[in-house]
Amino acid sequence: MKDKLVIIPTYNERENVADIISAILNLPGEFELLIIDDASPDGTADIIRDLQKDYPNRLHLISREGKLGLGTAYITGFKYALEHQYTYIFEMDADFSHNPQDLVKLYEACAEEGNDMAIGSRYINGVNVVNWPMGRVLMSYFASKYVRFITGMEIQDTTAGFKCYHRRVLECINLDNIKFIGYAFQIEMKFTAWLHGFKIKEVPIIFTDRTRGSSKMSSGIFKEAVFGVISMKINSLFNRYQAIPNQT
Ligand SMILES: Nc1nc2c(ncn2[C@@H]2O[C@H](COP(=O)(O)OP(=O)(O)OP(=O)(O)O)[C@@H](O)[C@H]2O)c(=O)[nH]1
Ligand SMILES: [Mg+2]
């Protein structure tokens, strides 16, 4: 069994990708990295291919044919991680909003404290977001509250995209049932893990707005989350999120 795989989806992250690769692959603890690039027109994948020579067997790349969305990129990554027998599987952005050093904290929360899932949370001790305009901070904060209200899940940062899963969580979730693409994807994964009774810990982190490259946030992604949460809750009442029986 291999140990840790960090999954990063990229779309036009030329300015960030080389630095994020070296920051992660130089952490203590031999993390491996899988990048899912969606044919970024800025040549992100070429930079990754070049760097693969420097990190034999530790830097993996899946190049998809076009922009298929963050949710499906992670599903592709999760399936790869399960197939290749990794135990701890991480989600993270390429743009340094998530501090690579915090991967170690997420890992410890699962590997040493026995949690099934650790979430890098912005809203544990107040609001820990740096450089976002106030409007966006408020939107994200109240979006999290809205999701808690509709779903009833006891998670403060419901849209967070910085996480560590023990593989048993991903094995239990029917990944082909996860349909959302943007923030709603992040909510849906947490909601499903919570429904299945997994032990979830929120680890406080400081989230910093990207300084390089541009955001892929869109109003479509926002709408998907607002309405998606309601349909997700209704579907759960009809048992749509049934766990896959334990295969071990
Ligand atoms: N493969 C793939 N990656 C994507 C896609 N959309 C976004 N990403 C990546 O997903 C991560 C998060 O996207 P961001 O644009 O940073 O979204 P965000 O964090 O909500 O927006 P900002 O805070 O403004 O940066 C980044 O690493 C993006 O490059 C996509 O369609 N396909
Ligand atoms: Mg970002």
Report pTM.
Answer: 0.95
Per DSSP, 176 falls in state G
Q: Which domain holds residue 138?
A: 2-236
What pLDDT, on a 0 to 100 scale, did the predictor assign at position 220? 86
Q: Classify residue 95: in a domain, yes or no.
A: yes
What pLDDT, on a 0 to 100 scale, did the predictor assign at position 201? 98
pLDDT in tens, 71-107: 999 999 999 999 999 999 999 999 999 999 999 999 9
Give me the mean pLDDT over the 217-245 stretch.
88
User: Could you tell me if 64 and 76 are in contact, meaning their C-beta atoms sit under 8 angstroms apart?
Assistant: yes
What pLDDT, on a 0 to 100 scale, did the predictor assign at position 146? 94
Q: Is 214 in the pocket of ligand 1 (CB under 6 A)?
A: no
Q: Is 91 in the pocket of ligand 1 (CB under 6 A)?
A: no
pLDDT in tens, 99-141: 999 999 999 999 999 999 999 999 988 889 998 999 889 988 9
Question: Three-state DSSP class for 90?
Answer: strand
Which of the four pLDDT bands, split at 50, 70 and 90, describes residue 182? Answer: confident
Q: Is 73 in the pocket of ligand 1 (CB under 6 A)?
A: yes
CA of residue 55 to ligand 1 center, whole Å? 24
Looking at all shown ligands, the one closest to residue 94's CA atom is 1
Atom of ligand 1 nearest to the CA of 132: 23
The residue that leads in pLDDT, 240 or 148, is: 148
CA of residue 5 to ligand 2 center, whole Å? 20
Q: For residue 235, give the nearest of 191, 204, 194, 203 by alpha carbon.
A: 191
Mean pLDDT for the chain overall? 94
What pLDDT, on a 0 to 100 scale, did the predictor assign at position 12? 97
**Looking at residue 184, which CATH number applies to its domain?**
3.90.550.10
What pLDDT, on a 0 to 100 scale, did the predictor assign at position 89? 98
Q: Classify residue 245: in a domain, yes or no.
A: no
Atom of ligand 1 nearest to the CA of 181: 31
80-89, 147-156, 160-169, 174-183: segment of lowest average pLDDT: 174-183
Q: Classify residue 140: in a domain, yes or no.
A: yes
CA of residue 208 to ligand 2 center, whole Å? 9
Q: Is 70 in the pocket of ligand 1 (CB under 6 A)?
A: yes
Give me the mean pLDDT over the 188-214 stretch.
95
Q: Is 116 in the pocket of ligand 1 (CB under 6 A)?
A: no
pLDDT in tens, 54-77: 999 999 999 999 999 999 999 999
Closest residue by Cα to atom 30, ligand 1, is 69
Phi, psi for residue 151 in degrees, rounded to 5: -90, -25
Q: Classify residue 188: in a domain, yes or no.
A: yes
What pLDDT, on a 0 to 100 scale, did the predictor assign at position 64? 98
Mutation test residue for ligand 1: of 11, 13, 137, the one with most atoms within 8 Å of CB = 11
Which of the four pLDDT bands, split at 50, 70 and 90, describes residue 247? Answer: low
Is pLDDT at 165 greater than 60 in this prediction? yes
User: Could you tell me if 122 and 154 are in contact, meaning their C-beta atoms sit under 8 angstroms apart?
Assistant: no
Q: Classify residue 12: in a domain, yes or no.
A: yes
Q: Classify residue 244: in a domain, yes or no.
A: no
Q: Classify residue 63: in a domain, yes or no.
A: yes
CA of residue 94 to ligand 2 center, whole Å? 7
**β-strand partners of 200:** 117
Which of the four pLDDT bands, split at 50, 70 and 90, describes residue 240? Answer: confident
Phi, psi for residue 3 in degrees, rounded to 5: -95, -80
Q: Is 44 in the pocket of ligand 1 (CB under 6 A)?
A: no
Query: What region, left, alpha or beta, does residue 221 occupy, with left being phi > 0 and alpha being psi -120 to 50 degrees?
Result: alpha
How many folded domains does the chain comprise? Answer: 1
What pLDDT, on a 0 to 100 scale, did the predictor assign at position 125? 82
CA of residue 246 to ligand 1 center, whole Å? 33
Q: How far is CA 123 from CA 28, 96, 215, 226, 238, in A?
A: 27, 18, 21, 19, 31
Q: Classify residue 47: in a domain, yes or no.
A: yes
